[in-house]
């Protein structure tokens, strides 16, 4: 374990730079990794059982490494038993305060509140970290815990006392993904039945519910905005496999379009791609479903599809099943290479669009209308530049732009990209991408 911990620590502390030689066509097949946003709550949920739980298809990314380090600090035994497979034994987990330095590295530290509350009845949680993409409120988490009978105090972090959680009827003031996941985990071991209305229904929330059911929970309504949870006294061991990442799949669609490449995305999560394919189709990017695979032929110039009667089209995000907020950055980059004009409206986070100034420095024609909206006019020849990765999704968007640009780009703080995309430089190199990683 010491060797593994040391390797994880070096991985977490590395702050790499990507040197990208762009303007080259890519080709071949790539397989999306396990869903990052499912892996984090599923791993957190293993703390609710005193028996070993094995999770498969876990992406080896920075955020997962950080969460596992926090779980180890609480007494969990973490063992990688194979590529992408990790066993968590939480038998010796103890109630205690979370390490504030580790917690501020990732937003997902908030996901430990639900399982620790369910198992120990109380906890103190420091403020979580994560991407700076706008105000990310915790009020819905507080509402959910109080609806289950917990006392919650907010100061520097969250102090929660819920030694006798009781099921009830709760309506979330917004369909927050992480708040829904915390509410589900806490309600799983509350006495009686819990009804969660206006719940988030993203694929990662569905994965969490299915994993908990595998562990012995009783959750109905999976995939809808209304969940019914019958509390159980304890959860047991289980084996569960994380589904393929639909956000990574969408990123590869944008990659194919920007680099004018034909790519095959193997074992894509086809049933979760409806709104994603509609959004990219508005940008003139067509995809073909071939059994479990998705074929993206970006070799011809995409053309923005006007709305009926010639109105300016819009790509906008929203709660599931709408176009995902995590793909708006990718959509902006793809739009810079499409012929026409489009409005991209990021409704959920008011700082996510600020990264577009970096695309402008590369030659993109983008008007930042306000913190939520940009107008993109394409196509614009992109040129290499020195830029920085501000967050996971904007960082991936910058990498895609660099691969489609003429010349060489330097992407500093590329560790942000590695927080959400497993071994992205090596995986894209197999497609012909020219990326050099420097620590």
Report pLDDT digits (tens) over 75-122: 999 999 999 999 999 999 987 777 777 777 787 788 999 999 999 988
| Integer Cα distance of 187 and 221 in angstroms | 14
Per-residue buried b or exposed e for 107-134, using 16+ beta carbons within 10 Å of the residue's own CB: bbbbbbbbbbbbbeeebbbbebbbbebb
Name 30's Cβ contacts closer than 8 Å, sequence gap at least 6: 252, 263, 264, 265, 266, 427, 428, 430, 431
* Beta carbons of 71 and 43 less than 8 angstroms apart: yes
| Integer Cα distance of 118 and 188 in angstroms | 8
Per-residue buried b or exposed e for 151-161, using 16+ beta carbons within 10 Å of the residue's own CB: ebeeeebbebb
Mean pLDDT, residues 60-88 taken together: 94
| Integer Cα distance of 268 and 379 in angstroms | 28
Whether 131 is catalytic: yes
Higher pLDDT residue, 163 or 59? 59
CATH 3.65.10.10 region(s) of the chain?
9-33+244-438, 36-241
Report pLDDT digits (tens) over 263-320: 999 999 999 999 999 999 999 999 999 999 999 999 999 999 999 988 999 999 999 9
| Integer Cα distance of 238 and 35 in angstroms | 19
- Give phi and psi for 263, each to the nearest 5: -125, 145
pLDDT the model gives residue 102: 78
Among candidate residues 63, 131, 326, 425, the one labeled active-site is 131
- pTM (2 d.p.): 0.91
* Beta carbons of 365 and 339 less than 8 angstroms apart: no
Tell me the Ramachandran region of residue 16: left when phi exceeds 0, alpha when psi lies from -120 to 50, beta otherwise: beta
Report pLDDT digits (tens) over 327-337: 999 999 999 99
| Integer Cα distance of 266 and 430 in angstroms | 14
Pairing of strands 17-22, 407-412: antiparallel
DSSP 8-state assignment for residue 244: B
CA distances to 203, 252, 420 from 84, rounded to whole Å, are 19, 20, 14
Q: Is the predicted pLDDT of residue 372 greater than 60, yes or no?
A: yes
pLDDT the model gives residue 396: 97
Closest by CA position to 124, among listed 148, 108, 103: 103
- Give phi and psi for 340, each to the nearest 5: 130, -170
Mean pLDDT, residues 207-219 taken together: 98
Q: How far is CA 269 from the centre of its chain?
A: 15
Tell me the Ramachandran region of residue 346: left when phi exceeds 0, alpha when psi lies from -120 to 50, beta otherwise: beta
Cα dihedral angle (104, 105, 111, 115), rounded to 10 degrees? -80
User: Cα angle vertex 106, ends 183, 397, to 5°?
Assistant: 110
* Beta carbons of 23 and 407 less than 8 angstroms apart: yes
Closest by CA position to 66, among listed 420, 431, 426, 427: 420
Give, in words, the CATH class of 36-241.
alpha beta
* Beta carbons of 215 and 191 less than 8 angstroms apart: no
CA distances to 25, 62, 260, 302, 318 from 299, rounded to whole Å, are 9, 33, 4, 9, 30
Per-residue buried b or exposed e for 237-253, using 16+ beta carbons within 10 Å of the residue's own CB: bbebbbbbbbbbbbbbb
| Integer Cα distance of 377 and 260 in angstroms | 18
CB atoms within 10 A of CB 411: 24
- Give phi and psi for 407, each to the nearest 5: 95, -165
User: Cα angle vertex 257, ends 437, 420, to 5°?
Assistant: 40
Residues of the chain with pLDDT > 90: what percent? 81
pLDDT the model gives residue 136: 55
| Integer Cα distance of 216 and 239 in angstroms | 12
| Integer Cα distance of 122 and 153 in angstroms | 11
CATH superfamily of 9-33+244-438: Enolpyruvate transferase domain (3.65.10.10)
* Beta carbons of 246 and 330 less than 8 angstroms apart: no
User: Cα angle vertex 273, ends 272, 274, to 5°?
Assistant: 105
Give the H or E element holding residue 218: strand 218-220
CB atoms within 10 A of CB 7: 11
Structure-token match 């107008």, residue found: 375
pLDDT the model gives residue 100: 75
| Integer Cα distance of 137 and 225 in angstroms | 20
**Looking at 160-169, 170-179, 297-306, 395-404, which range is the least confident one?**
160-169
């Amino acid at each position: 374990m010491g060797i593994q911990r040391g390797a994880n620590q070096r991985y977490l502390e590395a702050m790499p730079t990507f040197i990208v030689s762009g303007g080259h066509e890519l080709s071949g097949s790539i397989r999306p990794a396990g869903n990052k946003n499912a892996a984090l709550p599923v791993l957190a949920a293993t703390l609710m059982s005193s028996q070993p739980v094995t999770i498969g298809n876990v992406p080896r990314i920075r955020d997962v490494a950080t969460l596992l380090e926090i779980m180890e600090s609480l007494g969990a035994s973490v063992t990688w038993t194979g590529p992408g497979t990790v066993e968590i034994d939480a038998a010796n987990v103890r109630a205690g305060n979370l390490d504030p330095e580790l917690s501020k590295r990732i937003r997902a530290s908030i996901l430990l509140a639900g399982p620790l509350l369910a198992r120990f009845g109380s906890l103190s949680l420091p403020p979580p970290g994560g991407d700076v993409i706008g105000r990310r409120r915790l009020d819905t988490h507080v509402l959910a815990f109080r609806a289950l009978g917990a006392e919650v105090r907010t100061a520097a972090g969250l102090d929660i006392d819920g030694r006798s959680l009781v099921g009830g009827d709760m309506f979330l003031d917004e369909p927050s993904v992480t708040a829904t996941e915390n509410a589900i985990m806490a309600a799983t071991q509350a006495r009686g039945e819990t009804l969660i209305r206006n719940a988030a229904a993203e694929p990662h929330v569905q994965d969490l519910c299915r994993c908990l059911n595998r562990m012995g929970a009783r959750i109905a309504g999976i995939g809808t905005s209304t969940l019914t949870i019958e509390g159980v006294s304890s959860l047991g061991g289980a084996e569960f496999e994380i589904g393929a990442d639909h956000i990574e799949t969408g990123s590869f669609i944008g990659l194919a379009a920007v680099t004018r490449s034909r790519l095959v995305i193997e074992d894509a999560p086809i049933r979760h791609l409806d709104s994603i394919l509609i959004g990219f189709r508005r940008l003139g990017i067509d995809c073909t479903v071939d059994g479990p695979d998705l074929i993206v032929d970006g070799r011809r110039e995409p053309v923005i599809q006007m709305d009926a009667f010639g109105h300016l089209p819009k790509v906008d995000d929203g709660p599931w099943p709408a176009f995902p907020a995590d793909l708006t950055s990718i959509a902006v980059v793809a739009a810079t290479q499409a012929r026409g004009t489009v409005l991209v409206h990021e409704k959920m986070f008011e700082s996510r669009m600020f990264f577009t100034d970096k695309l402008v420095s590369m030659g993109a024609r983008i008007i930042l209308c306000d913190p939520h909206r940009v107008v993109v006019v394409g196509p614009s020849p992109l040129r290499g530049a020195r830029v920085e990765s501000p967050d996971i999704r904007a960082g991936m968007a910058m990498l895609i732009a660099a691969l489609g640009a003429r010349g060489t780009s330097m992407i500093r703080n590329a560790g942000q990209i590695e927080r959400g995309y497993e071994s992205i430089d090596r995986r894209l190199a197999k497609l012909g991408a020219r990326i050099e990683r420097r620590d």
